[in-house]
């Protein structure tokens, strides 16, 4: 999983995102996944 995430981050940088944008995208996606998990629990 760590390698996959590292590849994703590298791809995000290659797409022109900066560190702050990568973190914001990750955090919003993480929060959405948490919300969906909580809804199905």
Question: Domain residues of the chain, as ranges?
Answer: 2-40
Average pLDDT over residues 14-24: 98
Token code pair at residue 25: 């995208």
Place of tokens 């797409």: 15
Average pLDDT over residues 17-32: 98
Q: Report pLDDT for 24.
A: 98
What whole-number distance in Å separates Cα of residue 25 and Cα of residue 29? Answer: 6
Region of 4 on the Ramachandran plot (φ > 0 left; ψ -120 to 50 alpha; else beta)? alpha
What whole-number distance in Å separates Cα of residue 16 and Cα of residue 40? Answer: 35
Extended strands (E) in the chain? none
pLDDT for 22 beyond 90: yes
Token code pair at residue 32: 């959405």
pTM of the model: 0.80
Determine what percent of the chain is predicted with pLDDT higher than 70: 100
Q: Report pLDDT for 41.
A: 80
């Amino acid at each position: 999983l760590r390698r996959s995430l590292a590849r994703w981050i590298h791809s995000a940088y290659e797409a022109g995102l900066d560190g702050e944008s990568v973190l914001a995208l990750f955090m919003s996606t993480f929060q959405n996944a948490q919300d969906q998990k909580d809804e199905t629990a």
